[in-house]
Amino acid sequence: MKNVTLVPDKFNGRASFILLDNDGKPIPPFTYFIEHLVKKCSDNTVTSYAHHLAKFFDYLAESTLISHDAIGRTYIRVYVYKVMDLMLNHLYLKLDDHKNHNERVSDSK
């Protein structure tokens, strides 16, 4: 990533992250969201979300669609829900393919 830097950190003794802009300043909406996740989710989940959100912020900065200052909690929440929806759809497709494969194998016996 060339527009943001993801830095490992601790929050309430748990794994967390801070996202810095090109000037080395923390990006508050990212911090608020990650701190919220740390309270409710596993370290692996926090790490995964942090990396995906950092890439998203980097994309936004690169495309100059929006500045870091204009990104609020709602914007992040919408992005996360969209990513989760895509991931779940992908998972369901894989499960469906696996089920169909097993049915074909079972039918051929």
Contact 31, 89 (CB under 8 A): no
pTM score: 0.61
Q: For residue 30, give the H/E element and its range.
A: helix 28-40
Contact 47, 81 (CB under 8 A): no
- Model confidence over 49-60: pLDDT tens digits? 899 889 888 887
- Model confidence over 31-87: pLDDT tens digits? 888 888 898 889 999 999 899 889 888 887 777 655 555 565 566 667 666 666 665
Number of separate domains in the chain: 1
Domain that holds residue 37: 5-107
CA distance 83 to 81: 5
